[in-house]
Amino acid sequence: MAVYTEVSDEELDAFMATYDLGQVLSLKGIAEGVENTNYLLHAEKGYFILTLYEKRVREDELPFFVGLMEHLSAHGLTCPQPVRNRAGQALGQLSGRPAALVTFLEGMSIRRPEARHCGMVGQALAGLHQAGSDYPMQRQNNLSVEGWAQLVERAHQRADEVMPGLADEMSAEIAFLRAHWPKNLPSGIIHADLFPDNVFFLSGQLSGLIDFYFACTDSLAYDLAICINAWCFEGDTSFNVTKGMAMLEGYQKVRPLTPAEIEAFPILARGAAFRFMLTRLVDWQNMQVGALVKPKNPMEYYKKLRFHRQAQSVRDYGLHS
Amino acid sequence: MAVYTEVSDEELDAFMATYDLGQVLSLKGIAEGVENTNYLLHAEKGYFILTLYEKRVREDELPFFVGLMEHLSAHGLTCPQPVRNRAGQALGQLSGRPAALVTFLEGMSIRRPEARHCGMVGQALAGLHQAGSDYPMQRQNNLSVEGWAQLVERAHQRADEVMPGLADEMSAEIAFLRAHWPKNLPSGIIHADLFPDNVFFLSGQLSGLIDFYFACTDSLAYDLAICINAWCFEGDTSFNVTKGMAMLEGYQKVRPLTPAEIEAFPILARGAAFRFMLTRLVDWQNMQVGALVKPKNPMEYYKKLRFHRQAQSVRDYGLHS
């Protein structure tokens, strides 16, 4: 939610001269994306998002992300489509940063999703999984069980400052998840961060998905478990089974879950809640006074984690099995 | 350079329902303007800037600013044009803030102005002064001599931390300016903050002026003196007489300066440098660690002030008198 890198006229002119988009008519830094600098660029050929990749994104992983957006667009998913320059490259350099231009997607994210939105998100997620099924590149999910174990270590010492007993509970949780985390589920490209901020709607219909910078190769059903966490709880952190049912039904309209995925669902949802609790906890502990981006409260996901621990089966999420 | 106020779907829908601009297609928070929250809004009828006025802007002054933009657009100046809602109002309420929609202006500000840009800015400034000549509202300049005296008092105690001797020098300067500040020069609407950030260019031509939230009623030549300070010095704070000449000539093509204005010019330029040195000094002294907006260095304007003190006549600024 910040412009970390400013772009001079000369640098922009030199960058845009490598594209075939006509004259630049305006450039506005936009408050979107926590990791990177984003500009909305209006050129004669249309509106585009110009992204400058900042240090937290590994440069050697950019071809995976940019290639994925290109692949998904080509397979019918509405997502930002990278624009290639005259040399056929989708990645360039601008102001000392790797940079890319992608098409601008109309639509607005919604702050208070209803069950019908959850249904559309489930369906779009399954569409993403299908469109990604023949994407040739792979990227390991560094925020899966072993990544969580590292975050538990980092956050352990000061975890009780957030809630007494949290450090011990985290140790028990990571031990449980390590012992029971499902293996050999259907795997492929997952979005891994499909929160309401990253889904656009227009005229009541889902109009596109954005922000693929956590995408990786992992269990498809784990991606759905992340969405259940992100979309189907109310403001008071109670689970809304109507929303869960809508999302699971929407997903299965396109890609029915396998029996193994259905059986594993409660633990996948539990792991997903733990993952967001951990990253938020680490951000919370490392918060700078007056920082540009205010960290989110980790306790929201602690409460969701408690719900998942009590879940007996996928029926608790609204699935008629 | 921040989004201070978030807007929910419901609030935006209710606000937009009062306008006749069609469905909202997208809304992006933009990193523009230090005082207010700005969004780029795409509606079926076009692109607009949606501004939410934050606390530092006095609500009772908003009709002056919004009315001025409307007046200037109607008189041929290219600047954001307020859009009136169905009730004929250009000011509404959104998310608990006064809010306005203005037309989106294409173009880009330039970071390294050349003499030809300075010429166009001079000409546009004179055009603004002419277009504003029959604007019926007035607003006192609270950042003129008496306002500076208050800033000197505020900044005095810790001024020597920035540069030893600065406190005494400020006291002497305000005494000098109080004694010699010209009165009875031609007066009218001035922009009062026409820095490169607030001027757009397109295809090498000046395409518009923005940010009228310092506009007020004051000496017209003082506005030109502000522009000379903002546009005609090099990065090493040396004065570029070619740029000064271009700006003064550009201005006089549209509105020739009177003999009294020409005579007063060096002291107007001196006062303008002192004004920006003072506000930057106060911002610098009140800087918060990790603040959203990094204050600008006050010493840049101290160095400009020194230049103006040595100026003998308007010839030092490039004017052939």
pLDDT in tens, chain B (321 residues): 466 788 988 899 999 999 999 999 999 999 876 678 999 999 999 999 999 998 878 899 999 999 999 999 999 999 999 999 999 999 999 999 999 999 999 999 998 899 999 999 999 999 999 999 999 999 999 999 999 999 999 999 999 999 999 999 999 999 999 999 999 999 999 999 999 999 999 999 999 999 999 999 999 999 999 999 999 999 999 999 999 999 999 999 999 999 999 999 999 999 999 999 999 999 888 876 555 556 788 999 999 999 999 999 999 999 875
Q: How many CB atoms lie within 10 A of CB A20?
A: 12
Closest CA to A139 of A188, A181, A204, A179: A188
Closest C-alpha to B248, from B308, B182, B321, B305: B321
**Minimal-distance CA residue of chain A relative to B203:** A23
User: CB of A1 within 8 Å of any CB in chain B?
Assistant: yes
b or e along B242-278 (b: 16 or more beta carbons within 10 Å of the residue's beta carbon)?
ebbbbbbbbbbeebebeeebbebbbbbbbbbbbbbbb
Among A23, A26, A202, select the one facing B203 at the smallest CB separation.
A23
Closest CA to A102 of A92, A94, A88, A90: A90
Q: Which CATH superfamily is domain A9-103 in?
A: Phosphorylase Kinase; domain 1 (3.30.200.20)
Mutate one of B4, B28, B41 to test the A interface: name it (highest A CB count within 10 A). Answer: B28
Put simply, the answer to whether A29 touches B31 (Cβ < 8 Å) is yes
Chain B residue with minimum CA distance to A29? B31
- pLDDT tens figures, A156-208: 999 999 999 999 999 999 999 999 999 999 999 999 999 999 999 999 999 99
Nearest-by-Cβ selection for A31 from B10, B31, B288: B31
Asked if B29 reaches chain A (Cβ–Cβ under 8 Å), the answer is: yes
B298 contacts: CB under 8 Å, gap ≥ 6: B162, B277, B278, B280, B281, B284
CA distance B40 to B36: 13
Which phi and psi (to 5°) does residue B38 adopt?
-125, 135
Selecting from 3.60.10.10, 3.40.50.960, 3.90.1200.10, 3.30.530.20, what CATH number does the domain A115-317 have?
3.90.1200.10
Cβ neighbours of A108 in B, within 8 Å: 9, 24-27
Q: Compute the nearest-CA separation of B175 from chain A (Å).
A: 38
Please state the φ and ψ torsions of residue B143, each to the nearest 5 degrees.
-115, 45
Q: Who contacts B235 (Cβ-Cβ below 8 Å, separation ≥6)?
A: none
A22-52: per-residue pLDDT in tens? Answer: 999 999 999 876 678 999 999 999 999 999 9
Q: Is A14 on the interface with B (CB under 8 A)?
A: no
* Cβ-based neighbour number of residue A87 at 10 Å: 8
Q: Do A107 and B26 touch (CB under 8 A)?
A: yes
A108 touching chain B per CB within 8 A? yes
> Any chain A CB within 8 A of the CB of B3?
yes
Interface test with B, best of A24, A51, A108, A289 (most B CBs within 10 A): A108
Q: Residues of A with CB below 8 A from B30's CB?
A: 28-31, 40
Domain map of chain A by residue range? 9-103, 115-317
